[in-house]
A and B are shown apart, each in its own frame.
Chain A
């Protein structure tokens, strides 16, 4: 990559609204996945793809925490951690990008903090360069979970309906023609004939996963600065730009009345081709399509492209409880691919493991103490945890400062920071909220255990 060609921005200010049960205690981007903070994965991916700097946008309260957590992770890239100012409650992704607009000097690669993937960015960047695109998106084919591996999601059963995107791509040119949510349409999808004339072959996907990796041309950020009504990237800006590809610029209105306010600059005034492209295009015989007399790219000034990573590449967005439970089970198997052979610290040096039954896919964090006569299977245990003897733990995620007393059986549970589990307790498929104390001798299945004030919020 040419240095300075792209700037990486990692958006990590999300609050994890789809998994509030476990994000009460810590920011979403610091949820542990294999004892690494979640945000480390996209950063590691950027490092792997050759980025030397990145801007990391976090919520106002989380800056110091994030900084401290990332210092332990041995990242070689320079990080510029920006905290969003307090006061405003919900920052959309576009708002975040707008907030750092002064730092944006080049085309931007926007990455979300909850992506764990081994997909390469290069094909998407290649599309972006080759076609002088305004936006390039990277989609992943959803990985199918084998039924043997399918454990229930911890916590009460929820009727979780995943949001599905409707993505239309012209397979001949990789142009992104349609981007909408499936729920936008009732019974039929109306497609204009003009659009189908331009893109006579159109592939419609209803099950692709948006990696939330967006490559944006610098002018798109400028437009975002100007058009403040667009507050999210996925929900508003991208569908808007995708739609704008096929419309024509409005006539320029010269006259202004006081009532109507200032002139709204429309997107086409931002969409300026670089000097070299506007010189090359008319002289080149290259054309990306055939069958009509239109110029290259059908004379569209705004162009969006999408790359679909092939099905061999792994990708998951950890934005739901389900995904969080799933990635924790899977991550060790795909560690090499996802992290680019980053050394995996299974049992931290500063931990005390006396147990003899700790299997290969269990991780133990710093200063944790596992007593003898315990068994651990496919679990990750955070730092400063204590597990007393005669306890069996399988398929669990245990965060920091958790104390588990004697004789417990924990299966497929997520235990947040500071939880204490009493003697002889059995938990199956449970979520335990921050600092909750599970009384001795209790049995719970598929429940969410938390202090009352947390329950209220949910």
Chain B
């Protein structure tokens, strides 16, 4: 009997395996240059605590017992940080193993390396070292194991968080679209917007739609970069050496589902749970805000992670002050601020929606808004720092003005009265960066990179602190939605491109018609059909047809040709120009063409005379048009050229009046 019991104990031990997590200490990108020049990205401070500590704190809270910290860059710094932290103390709830592999350039390399080292035994949790979260991992693990029972090939459960399309927590490089089978939580389709071949449309394979009674398409998810992996994930990476990123992995698995016999599941966080990976400046800003607003509770500024930290005071308006802070009497600290211990703020300075690190010296009359000032900075009097990141131990001299996405790398000395909205670093680097001060060089952006991402990269550099780009995108998109699904849509609002296309088509029709002596009625039909094809408004048709006729004649014998063409195309003109509004369009066309091409000027009188004789243009409108021209300085020439005809018109009018009398 006792034997049976002990067996049972053994079994329960087996099932309650140690929960293992792999923390990747690198984001394999240069999103945080120049900050990451000598510090690995996971050691960058977020609200005065480094990212890695946030991640480890969460993992230990969430019940992870063993962590493999995978380092690739600046390994010594990570090692040292870990050594001095509470994670390597006796009392640490985590067993922390540091794994080093300096040759890894991608996540795929890291996974392959881990596979080769054969350290992981079963299911594990894969997170990036820059994750801020408060998610309880056990339900996710449970779900993963439950699904594993029915689907032996389940490789990974990806954790997603809901965030609508315009949510600030949705970084452009992480904009994804996922299709899921709700019944089995299986991921069927996954596409990152950045790597999508078609920016306007998403193409979902019919196969996956037809196979199931219903599928759910989510455009309101954010990838938290947290996932639960089965033991098969590492060999999968080894077998497919082209898997570089997590996205490659997901895509490859979905594409070769049968061959690799592996599937993916999705897990959706509830509204009260928080998880985000700080892998770009917009995310850095967003997560900081969320932390100050306490969405990440218990990971909030006044909850101390490290033991030797001084306590924070949490005041109204989400202002956090760490002991000991020296604030002068007339300084103003308001709205969502964190001030680190040992910092001093001078007279008349104001700090709004910003984070200031420890031991910073802020002078008098300084203005800091929407900025991040890291530890040990000295900001002298009358500086203005708006939407800026100031790295550790920077010195900003008197009267400097930093704004709009300016980033100062560690140790930069910004000269006095300097105005800047670029990235600066303290050393000249390998390339010849432009020198601004003793320790201040402008970081040049890598051109190759910006090309490779369709000119998107510079945008990302710029949009760090503004949402403007994002708004533009929305507007551009709403245009797309107007032409929505297909060409059979009959009444589209005219688009500029269509108008141009229509114009070219008209020119072609007329040219061909004139050369082949086609009947004008047929040409009218042709023009009308292209008008419908490109959906051009009637007024634009009038304008463009007249323009086309005026532009047809070659420049060498413009006048004679114009005469021939006018007589030939008269039926067309008569067809389109038949009421006052159309006449105005016609005259407008004349004005535009004459303004652009000097040859036309010689033909103006002829054109007006012919159209007047044919009763296409009315006297009244020509006179009005001319008087309008007089006030327009740009069409001075035209006005002068047309003057004789106008004079003739007026005289003729007087004559006819006299006659009638």
Q: Which residues of A contact B (CB under 8 A)?
A: 141, 164, 166, 171, 182, 185-208, 243-244, 246-251, 253-260, 264, 266-267, 290-292
Q: How many residues of B contact A (CB 8 A)?
A: 60
The minimal Cβ–Cβ distance linking B212 to chain A, given in whole angstroms, is 7
Q: Would A246 and B481 count as touching, CB distance under 8 A?
A: yes
Whether B538 is near chain A, meaning CB under 8 Å from some CB there, is yes
In Å, the complex CA distance between A187 and B164 comes to 28
Name A194's contact: one of B217, B477, B539 (CB within 8 Å).
B477
Extra contacts besides A192-B481, A247-B482 (20): CB < 8 Å = A166-B209, A189-B209, A191-B201, A191-B202, A192-B201, A194-B477, A195-B484, A200-B219, A201-B220, A202-B216, A204-B204, A206-B210, A208-B213, A244-B489, A249-B491, A251-B494, A255-B539, A257-B541, A257-B582, A291-B166
The stretch among B26-34, B413-421, B498-506, B572-580 that forms the contact with chain A is B572-580
Residues of chain B with a CB closer than 8 A to A292's CB: 164-166, 474
* 28 A-B pairs whose Cβ atoms sit less than 8 Å apart in the complex: A164-B210, A182-B210, A187-B206, A187-B207, A190-B485, A191-B202, A191-B203, A192-B485, A193-B200, A193-B201, A197-B474, A197-B481, A200-B164, A201-B218, A201-B220, A203-B215, A204-B214, A243-B484, A247-B484, A251-B537, A254-B539, A254-B581, A256-B538, A259-B525, A260-B531, A264-B491, A291-B220, A292-B166
Known: A243-B489, A248-B493. A255 touches B203 (CB 8 A): no
Residue of B nearest to A196 (CB): B219
Name B216's contact: one of A194, A201, A266 (CB within 8 Å).
A201
Name B493's contact: one of A190, A244, A250, A255 (CB within 8 Å).
A250
Known: A206-B212, A257-B538, A259-B575. A188 touches B206 (CB 8 A): yes
Residue of B nearest to A205 (CB): B214
In Å, the complex CA distance between A204 and B179 comes to 10
Whether B483 is near chain A, meaning CB under 8 Å from some CB there, is yes
Residues of chain A with a CB closer than 8 A to B260's CB: none
Residues of chain B with a CB closer than 8 A to A253's CB: 537-539
Residues of chain A with a CB closer than 8 A to B88's CB: none
Known: A255-B581, A264-B491, A292-B165. A246 touches B482 (CB 8 A): yes
Q: Would B537 and A200 count as touching, CB distance under 8 A?
A: no
Residues of chain B with a CB closer than 8 A to A243's CB: 484-486, 489
Known: A247-B483, A247-B489, A290-B164. A260 touches B581 (CB 8 A): no
Residues of chain B with a CB closer than 8 A to A194's CB: 477-482, 484
Residues of chain B with a CB closer than 8 A to A208's CB: 213
Residues of chain B with a CB closer than 8 A to A207's CB: 213-214
Q: Would A201 and B217 count as touching, CB distance under 8 A?
A: yes
Q: Would A193 and B576 count as touching, CB distance under 8 A?
A: no
Q: Would A260 and B528 count as touching, CB distance under 8 A?
A: yes
Residue of B nearest to A185 (CB): B206
| Best-buried of B213, B481, B493, B494 by chain A (most CB within 10 Å) | B481
Chain B residues numbered 436-492 whose CB sits less than 8 Å from any CB in chain A: 474, 477-486, 489-492
The minimal Cβ–Cβ distance linking B440 to chain A, given in whole angstroms, is 40
Residues of chain B with a CB closer than 8 A to A258's CB: 575, 578
The 5 A-B residue pairs with the shortest CB-CB distance in the complex, in nearest-first order: A291-B164, A194-B481, A200-B220, A188-B203, A196-B219
Residue of A nearest to B201 (CB): A190
| Best-buried of A193, A204, A247 by chain B (most CB within 10 Å) | A193
In Å, the complex CA distance between A52 and B541 comes to 54
Residues of chain A with a CB closer than 8 A to B541's CB: 257
Residues of chain B with a CB closer than 8 A to A206's CB: 209-210, 212-214
Q: Would B538 and A204 count as touching, CB distance under 8 A?
A: no
The minimal Cβ–Cβ distance linking B467 to chain A, given in whole angstroms, is 12
Residues of chain B with a CB closer than 8 A to A205's CB: 213-214
Whether B263 is near chain A, meaning CB under 8 Å from some CB there, is no
The minimal Cβ–Cβ distance linking B638 to chain A, given in whole angstroms, is 25
The minimal Cβ–Cβ distance linking B288 to chain A, given in whole angstroms, is 21
Whether B167 is near chain A, meaning CB under 8 Å from some CB there, is yes
Whether B550 is near chain A, meaning CB under 8 Å from some CB there, is no
Whether B205 is near chain A, meaning CB under 8 Å from some CB there, is yes
Residues of chain A with a CB closer than 8 A to B493's CB: 247-251
Q: Would A192 and B492 count as touching, CB distance under 8 A?
A: no
Whether B21 is near chain A, meaning CB under 8 Å from some CB there, is no
Whether B177 is near chain A, meaning CB under 8 Å from some CB there, is yes
The minimal Cβ–Cβ distance linking A402 to chain B, given in whole angstroms, is 40
In Å, the complex CA distance between A267 and B49 comes to 58
0/1 per residue, B206-246, Cβ < 8 Å to A?
11011011111111100000000000000000000000000
Residues of chain A with a CB closer than 8 A to B490's CB: 264, 266
Q: Would A204 and B217 count as touching, CB distance under 8 A?
A: yes
| Best-buried of B200, B482, B494 by chain A (most CB within 10 Å) | B482
